[in-house]
Structures are given as structure tokens and as C-alpha cells.
Amino acid sequence: MYRSIVRGVGHYVPQRVVRNADLEAVMDTSDAWIRERTGIEERRFSDLTTETTSEMGVRAARLALERAGIEARELDLIVFATLSPDYYFPGPGVQVQQALGLAEIGAIDIRNQCSGFVYALSVADQFIKTGMHRTVLVIGSELHSGGLDLTDRGRAVSVIFGDGAGAVVVQRAREDEADRGILSTHLHSQGEHAQELALLEPSTRHWVHKIVAEQNPENTGYYPYMNGNFVFKHAVTRFKEVIEEAFAHNGLNLSQLDLLVPHQANLRISQFIQQSMGLSDSQVFNNIQKYGNTTAASIPLALSEAWEQGRVQPGQLVCLAAFGSGFTWASALIRW
């Protein structure tokens, strides 16, 4: 069985910076309130006339390919994770195939929201491990800003999210790299809590014509809903479990961890996990302060920034972990 190695990382964020003070102008909130509850100071919002989920993903992918020293034509497969595709269907994977001018390779779209990137990385890893593919592009990209309720009604959720994209190029490791690469991935779900963090409409259960016919100004089903306290309590438990699972599976001790890159859901969640697991500041990477929660994009975006800052070095042990809507949670352990 082959080993998968991350050859290159890249990310893209829109130029428009939306600070907490900017949100104070459109809803009853404050910089202090947002920082205290989420740790977020600012986020990026896309130019909705020129930037799309797939286009941001392409930009992140081009950078990842450049850093990997790999030509786009060498790709065998695209795996794209998002909850905010350009269209209801098709998914954005095929748009990346077109934008990069690739041959008719496969494109898979992953809909696991905050856990989406780790799920997508796991899919790529399995294709490489079995020998079916040699080089796979994995993207996480989100455009939340066009679908947020930026009023007092939606303030509890809308202040959290931002736009952005991240990507990695995963490739079959060479024989002299046998001790490096993705060691394992671990995926979980608990559908009984699906509606605790969800966007319920429009859907085949409540389609557009029904929403229009009802003409109900109080209907907020087409905006994201989150039961914040409920999600927090489950997140801190599942994060810890799935990180420990990865280390136990590989016979490693948590003290050997060089860097944890958690999904950037809420800085308070990351800090709680860090404290409960006895990790130092140097062992955990957070950038939610600058970008907010970018869902499936958050881990590859953070991983790319950590790499740029020299926080990820060859031979280091890196853990990726996520929890989110579904509920789903997942981890990946990588020997860089």
C-alpha cells in the first residue's frame, strides 16, 4: 500500500476586510461582544460580482500547485469540499477542472461542511493508497457573505463567518519518503443532531415555490441556524476524542505533536481544547482572529499560513481536526 504526502499548500482570501466595527454599523453588536464570544476581530467578504466559491478555490489551487512544483496536467483527480457551491448543482469540482484546463479527470464534491476538508483529504488519501491515482488536488472553499442575515435577527451567527479558500496537492510518496505523509484519517458522524447547525431551506422538503407562496417575512429557514451552546459542548468533546484517536491508532504520544491545526470554528473552542489537552501555544495554530469561520476552507487556509510562517517543517507531526454540522467530526495525522 502506498503512502500519501502533501506536496504543496495554498490559500486565497478576498481583499475586502470586514472588521467588527463595520458590523456595528448594520446590527446591534459590538467589537467587545464578538471578541469575547468568538475571538474574531475581522473577516473577509467576497466581491460577489467577481468572486465565486470555485474561483477562490482555483486561486488557492494554483498557489498549491506552484509550491508543490507540479503542473496542473499531472493531476489525476479533484476533490472539492464546500457548503456554498456556485450552483445548487453541479458542484464546483468540475468548474476547477475547466478553469485549470485539465483533461477529463474525475471531480468529487464533498458536503461535510466544517469537517469537509478532512473528509476530502481522506478520500484523496484512499485513492492514492490503493494505487488508483498518483496526484490529487484537494480544495476547501467557502463564500458565506452572500447568504448571511446581517441584521439584528441574525447577529449571533452572522458575525462568525467569512469567505476564503485553501488547497493542498497530495501525491504518492517516493520510496525514500516512506516515513513521511498522511499516517491516518478518522471520520465520524451523528445525524441525530443534524438540525442543531443547519441551513434548512430551500430544499426538496421546502422548495422555492412554497417559500414564495407563503410570503412569510418571519421565515428565516434560508439563513444558517446554530444552537451555539449545544454545538460548543459537543465540539469540545469530539475534538479531543478524534485527536486522541489519531495518536492512539498510530501508537504515538500527544507529547510528540508539533502542530495542531483545528477547524477555525471559534477561538474559545480551540483554547478550551488546548488547555484540556495540555498543549502549549507553539503546538496550536489559530487564525480565526483574521478570517472568522470559513468552514471547509478553514483548515487548509490555516495550514497554508502556518507553512508560510515556518510553523510546519519536514519531519514534524501535524494533526488536523474538525467538528461541525451533521454533526460530523474528523482528524488526520500527518508526518510532514
Q: CA-to-CA distance for 239 and 243, rounded, in angstroms?
A: 6
Supply the DSSP string of 28-65, one letter for each residue. S--HHHHHHHH---EEEE--TTT--HHHHHHHHHHHHH
Q: Which tens digit of pLDDT belongs to each residue from 166-191?
A: 999 999 999 999 899 999 999 999 99
Give me the percent of the chain exceeding a pLDDT of 70.
99
Q: CA-to-CA distance for 149 and 271, rounded, in angstroms?
A: 28
Q: Which of 20, 112, 266, 293 is catalytic?
A: 293
CA-CA-CA-CA torsion sign (154, 155, 160, 162): positive
Active site residue 114: yes
The top-level CATH class assigned to 4-177 is alpha beta
Q: Which of 186, 263, 287, 319 is catalytic?
A: 263
- List the one residue out of 325, 324, 288, 294 whose CA is nearest residue 37: 288
Q: CATH 3.40.47.10: which residues of the chain?
A: 4-177, 181-335
Give pLDDT < 50 ranges for the chain. Answer: none
Q: Which tens digit of pLDDT belongs to each residue from 301-327?
A: 999 999 999 999 999 999 999 999 999
C-alpha 208, offset from chain centre = 28
Phi and psi dihedrals of 109, rounded to 5? -110, 130
Q: Which of 11, 114, 144, 286 is catalytic?
A: 114
* pLDDT for position 216: 80
Active site residue 286: no
* pLDDT for position 64: 98
CB neighbour list of residue 224: distance below 8 Å, 6 or more residues apart:
147, 148, 157, 161, 197, 198, 199
Fold of 181-335: Peroxisomal Thiolase; Chain A, domain 1 (3.40.47)
* pLDDT for position 30: 96
Active site residue 319: no
